[in-house]
């Protein structure tokens, strides 16, 4: 569980991913994908194969995590390129959720 304080939201990436993914290996895969995109600004199809092989990830688990990240808006696939980039959609949704929850708590 993430402890959010308005003055301190400097949580580790793993803490956030633990909320989204059920298994430790899924968290590790998501972290690997995010760090790769942060470093190279994108993740291509050929790079996914390299990440799977280099890290010993199960192919099915890797693509499950990647698709879940896509559905949640953490990454977006660029049309016609087969490349993934990080997206602001997930962060924006978390921000809206935080504001809605805060408003709900103020009404109690």
Residue 71 lies in a domain: yes
- The pair of structure tokens assigned to 21 is 């993914």
Residue found by looking up tokens 């924006």 in the block: 92
Angle between helices 24-40 and 59-72 (to 10 degrees): 70
**pLDDT tens-digit readout, 54-78:** 999 999 999 999 999 999 999 999 9
3-state secondary structure of 28: helix
- Which residues in 58-108 belong to E strands, given as ranges? 75-78, 83-86
Computed over every residue of the chain, the mean pLDDT equals: 90
The answer to whether 19 touches 2, Cβ cutoff 8 Å, is yes
The enclosing domain of 75 has a CATH number of 1.10.10.10
**pTM here?**
0.83
pLDDT at residue 32 greater than cutoff 80: yes
Residue 2 lies in a domain: no
Counted domains in the chain: 1
Domain for residue 78, yes or no? yes
The strand pairing partners of 47, in sequence order, are: none
What would the two tokens of residue 91 be? Answer: 């962060």
Q: Is 102 within a domain? A: yes
Q: Is residue 8 part of a domain?
A: no
Residue 63 belongs to some domain of the structure: yes
Residue 60's domain spans which residues?
A: 13-107
Q: What is the pLDDT of residue 99?
A: 93
């Amino acid at each position: 569980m993430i402890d959010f304080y308005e003055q301190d939201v400097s949580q580790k990436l793993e803490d956030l991913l633990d909320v989204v993914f059920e298994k430790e290996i899924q968290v590790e895969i998501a972290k690997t994908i995010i760090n790769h995109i942060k470093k190279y600004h994108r993740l291509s199809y050929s790079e996914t194969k390299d990440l799977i092989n280099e890290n010993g990830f199960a192919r099915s688990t890797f693509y499950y995590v990647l698709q879940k990240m896509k559905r949640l808006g953490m990454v977006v696939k660029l049309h016609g390129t087969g490349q993934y980039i990080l997206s602001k959609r997930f962060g924006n949704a978390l921000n809206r959720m935080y504001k809605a929850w805060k408003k709900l708590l103020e009404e109690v």
